[in-house]
Structure 1
């Protein structure tokens, strides 16, 4: 056979065989409400959200599959809300959390309330039963819209996909604008599943800037400040919310006015600044509280006269006239009448007040009096400075926290609620208010660990430390699983006094030592608990081991826990007793003035059979 002919015949045969048809392109994934929402969140700048799936939110979780958004699976919905809360506090951006209907939504409520009371920008997305089932007591139906009305800035309950673009744009705008806060989106399941292919791409809405203060109010404020011989600046959490930290520092630098700070304002002024007298209020410094009680003018900057700051309100700063600067007009005059109200953007107000106030500080008629006033305040600051030379071999919590702050000066510290919270406020030093995360107005135990998770995820390079107590830690201990899963390098300092410490302190001082339900002597071995989650753990019970233990904790490459045994009898000092003014502070050597008509009850111990815990 002719080889060339055979080859030609084969070629002709191949040419005659039709080429296989190309595989059909995969059909585009239909855009439903949930998928549109996921795309819109990304367009809004969201990179991380915290949540836990369930039945009514399943279309949203299906849309998340393969999306660029990072979803962090927590182990309890409260953890999701607090993590989003910590993310927002540390970054200044909107935190986002997600849960299903019914118990998923109700488990978010404490975290939502915390965000509302501390002005934290959050968007909360909850699943809801399909619209035809609403109002029928369907499975896991709960009126989360009505339940959260008092604790959100705004709520949305869309009934069709066509409402999604307006709703999402407004949700993020409202969360950010003015005084920030949480916004709820309660999302019915059929709206998530509905066709949204006709909806436009999401376009974020700009946030309107807060208006500047009126000229007349600034002139009046400057005039009143010019008359003052003993002025004090009372700085609050609004300083950080307004992005006015640098302007606030410049104002204090130029005017040299003694300054006190609230719990949420710590870090607005460096701790070493010669005008910084520290925190005021129930557990504030003596220098701060005496200055406020003796001042003749109080310049209030973004603070709200909280009862923990003022003590007995009727006797708070009794000789002072008040100039109140705040973006939220509802706070001005709410608890203390203002002689001058300056409503508007704090950054603008401080920048415009600084030149005339600085000139008065240099050349005004009260220069000598103000200099003497600052010297008196500084003398008290040094005279009443905290001491760290506690006797005994045990760990003294204030000294440990002071050393921690020295070893990690730029850390973000997230703490829970109780004695350790006040020790952190008193003895740690913060470079910025956004590096001190604490549940202020709500005082929610269980905040610390999930908030630290959120803070770590908003900046993976940040050094994040959670300071907790044994009572608070067990409230959201399950989030150790979240820390371990994502290998977050969060460092945990757990102060364990085997008691509900702040409650025990109050029972000792104000309830005649009738100790009721504060015993936590059956705590687990927290180091073993951490290791069970695959987290490195260190134990400490002696003062001479503090430096070594802290160094090992901070050097750990991943997450780590330092379990610190402390004295159960240790109290937070100083303390302003209830219904007293801030000048009436108590220290340990002054408690004999309090009524104690019953003998001290012994603390139960595990060895005492009368306090045995039944199996």
Structure 2
């Protein structure tokens, strides 16, 4: 057995059955080891797409996605995908080939310092120096990628290490000195601390810690008049979701979600929707009026908070997250803990909260009703929000929707419904154009029986259009909904609002005929241009059993509303062309 064969055996031992990649010289021994094996390799047509496909696979499956590339440009092309996974807390293992050990540092053909280049966009990087290290490093890599706050890990393997002969080892022969032994979050003493003091770890066990945290949180809730839950990407995963749904049902207080938590209990009457720059009015106003903000699995991102000094100005903040770096990083808290949300929720579910917040519930419900979306848009042209609302209705909230980045991404966040956050795939932290199609490929590989839809804009679609070949090769029945306004719509909107209509390099009116382009790649394709065609067009797309594209032509002057301008608070939303809409206190 050589190093490459040991690598593949180690991957199989970790349950890997799909890898996304692109071969090349320095990774060729690994591809030889893959030949005829049990792991399915998906040949993407660009390494960036391979990384983003692994990302999509991980988001849907909850397992670490795996991608593979050669040295030099193969490795550098993975970097955007790694950064995307890091900012959105997605578990991923990226394996790159490297020039032979004796050539490292000599500027050899396709040599790059992959380990050094990757350090800022991964949780951890490894450079394997001997084939015997492979099982141990794989063990550590998967543990790091999936433990605590998930994220990507890179493993760089020189070609000579891939070819080196090794003695047969069982998968249990793993170095036990892993650097990732997690600390036990606890409280500093057996008695409860004052409410205004954050909890700190000590040597009390996890159960005691969770009980202590829950007691203090319940005290805050019972003394609040306007409590609000603020839910982020950390609530994803079936274990947390089910517990949180039960607790939300028990306490029945209003809650808002970030982009990454969209899909959590969307049918719940106290769900006020997404907050932030393009958040819903009721959600943003509730943030500004609450007196207790309970933040679960969030990082107080600038797109969610707006002007941080104006965010939740009347609220005490209780913040719970698995990543200690996020606690008190941007907003000082009155109660905080680094804790597994499952453990906290297990305690909260048996400790009943007696809340007297009926006026607050009614106020939030009234605002939610008052600001419901209207879809009676005038004119004969296609109205994207209505189209996407219709898509949700036709799919019964059960489809996986993978977005690219731009206006269409925000329209999906505002107007589509999901039965789980894992079915809404969107590049949140990095905002990666070209994310949608590769992520849809990864999602379809993870859930082959699910309906997977890529909603994209014409700008983003062109970023990774070569992956249409991947769809055709593997006959993935992905449905592409291309919302085409012949411009970089979000940039155009900002240039209209904040740069005096100085439209600089946003015109895409010379796009090719995307229907004919798609047909050339072997897809079924169709175009609609009128409002009366919306429902029939979507029905046609959803009926397709092969890779298909529906091009939807819209007016390039359509904007995403509401919008919180740069430097403004979330209550200072621009709503259409009518100026600022401020919350009444």
Please report the TM-score for the alignment, with normalisation by the length of structure 1.
0.88
> What is the CA-CA distance between 1:412 and the residue it aligns to?
0.5
Structure with the greater alpha carbon radius of gyration: 1
Alignment partner, residue 250 of structure 1: 246
> What is the CA-CA distance between 1:272 and the residue it aligns to?
2.3
Gaps of 5+ in 1: 1-30, 362-366, 594-615
Which of the residues 412, 421, 428 maps onto 2:416?
428
Residue by residue over 1:124-156, the C-alpha shift from the partner in whole angstroms, topping out at 9 and shown as x without a partner, is 000000000000000000001000101111111
State whether residues 38 and 64 of structure 1, in contact with CA within 8 Å, keep that contact through their aligned partners in structure 2.
Answer: yes
Alignment partner, residue 288 of structure 1: 283
Which of the residues 517, 534, 549 maps onto 1:561?
549
Alignment partner, residue 436 of structure 2: 448
State whether residues 251 and 351 of structure 1, in contact with CA within 8 Å, keep that contact through their aligned partners in structure 2.
Answer: no
Alignment partner, residue 544 of structure 1: 532
> Could you say if the C-alpha distance between residues 214 and 254 of structure 1 is closer, same or farther in structure 2, counting changes exceeding 3 Å?
closer
Alignment partner, residue 222 of structure 1: 218
> What is the CA-CA distance between 1:241 and the residue it aligns to?
5.0
Matches within 5 A, 1:514-553: 514-553=502-541
Residue by residue over 1:76-102, the C-alpha shift from the partner in whole angstroms, topping out at 9 and shown as x without a partner, is 000100000000001100100000000
Alignment partner, residue 13 of structure 1: none
Alignment partner, residue 387 of structure 1: 374
Alignment partner, residue 134 of structure 1: 104
Alignment partner, residue 343 of structure 1: 338
State whether residues 573 and 580 of structure 2, in contact with CA within 8 Å, keep that contact through their aligned partners in structure 1.
Answer: no
3-state DSSP of counterpart to 2:156: strand
3-state DSSP of counterpart to 2:442: helix
Count of matched residue positions in the alignment of Structure 1 and Structure 2: 554
1-side partners of 2:339 and 2:139: how far apart?
Answer: 24
> What is the CA-CA distance between 1:467 and the residue it aligns to?
0.3
Moved more, 584-593 or 546-555: 584-593
- Whether 1:155 aligns to 2:155 is no
> What is the CA-CA distance between 1:225 and the residue it aligns to?
1.0
- Whether 1:110 aligns to 2:80 is yes
1-side partners of 2:89 and 2:580: how far apart?
Answer: 40
Alignment partner, residue 39 of structure 1: 9
State whether residues 258 and 374 of structure 1, in contact with CA within 8 Å, keep that contact through their aligned partners in structure 2.
Answer: yes
2-side partners of 1:155 and 1:243: how far apart?
Answer: 29
Which of the residues 232, 235, 260 maps onto 1:264?
260
State whether residues 242 and 346 of structure 1, in contact with CA within 8 Å, keep that contact through their aligned partners in structure 2.
Answer: no
Alignment partner, residue 385 of structure 2: 398
1-side partners of 2:540 and 2:210: how far apart?
Answer: 54
2-side partners of 1:329 and 1:352: how far apart?
Answer: 21
State whether residues 123 and 184 of structure 1, in contact with CA within 8 Å, keep that contact through their aligned partners in structure 2.
Answer: yes
State whether residues 210 and 347 of structure 2, in contact with CA within 8 Å, keep that contact through their aligned partners in structure 1.
Answer: no
2-side partners of 1:203 and 1:154: how far apart?
Answer: 22
Please report the TM-score for the alignment, with normalisation by the length of structure 2.
0.93
Which of the residues 449, 453, 459 maps onto 1:465?
453
> What is the CA-CA distance between 1:313 and the residue it aligns to?
0.2
1-side partners of 2:237 and 2:107: how far apart?
Answer: 41
> What is the CA-CA distance between 1:199 and the residue it aligns to?
3.3
> What is the CA-CA distance between 1:203 and the residue it aligns to?
6.4
2-side partners of 1:492 and 1:563: how far apart?
Answer: 8
> Could you say if the C-alpha distance between residues 273 and 569 of structure 1 is closer, same or farther in structure 2, counting changes exceeding 3 Å?
same
- Whether 1:64 aligns to 2:34 is yes
Residue by residue over 1:209-228, the C-alpha shift from the partner in whole angstroms, topping out at 9 and shown as x without a partner, is 88544433322211111100
- Whether 1:314 aligns to 2:309 is yes
State whether residues 233 and 261 of structure 2, in contact with CA within 8 Å, keep that contact through their aligned partners in structure 1.
Answer: yes
2-side partners of 1:503 and 1:278: how far apart?
Answer: 25
2-side partners of 1:88 and 1:160: how far apart?
Answer: 29
1-side partners of 2:270 and 2:232: how far apart?
Answer: 16
> Could you say if the C-alpha distance between residues 106 and 573 of structure 1 is closer, same or farther in structure 2, counting changes exceeding 3 Å?
same
Alignment partner, residue 234 of structure 2: 238
State whether residues 302 and 327 of structure 1, in contact with CA within 8 Å, keep that contact through their aligned partners in structure 2.
Answer: yes
> What is the CA-CA distance between 1:173 and the residue it aligns to?
1.1
Residue by residue over 1:286-307, the C-alpha shift from the partner in whole angstroms, topping out at 9 and shown as x without a partner, is 1000001000000101111100
State whether residues 49 and 96 of structure 1, in contact with CA within 8 Å, keep that contact through their aligned partners in structure 2.
Answer: yes
2-side partners of 1:460 and 1:198: how far apart?
Answer: 35
Alignment partner, residue 188 of structure 1: 158
Which of the residues 462, 465, 468 maps onto 1:474?
462
State whether residues 278 and 285 of structure 1, in contact with CA within 8 Å, keep that contact through their aligned partners in structure 2.
Answer: yes
- Whether 1:359 aligns to 2:353 is yes
- Root-mean-square deviation (CA, aligned residues, Å) is 1.6
Alignment partner, residue 27 of structure 1: none
1-side partners of 2:19 and 2:168: how far apart?
Answer: 26
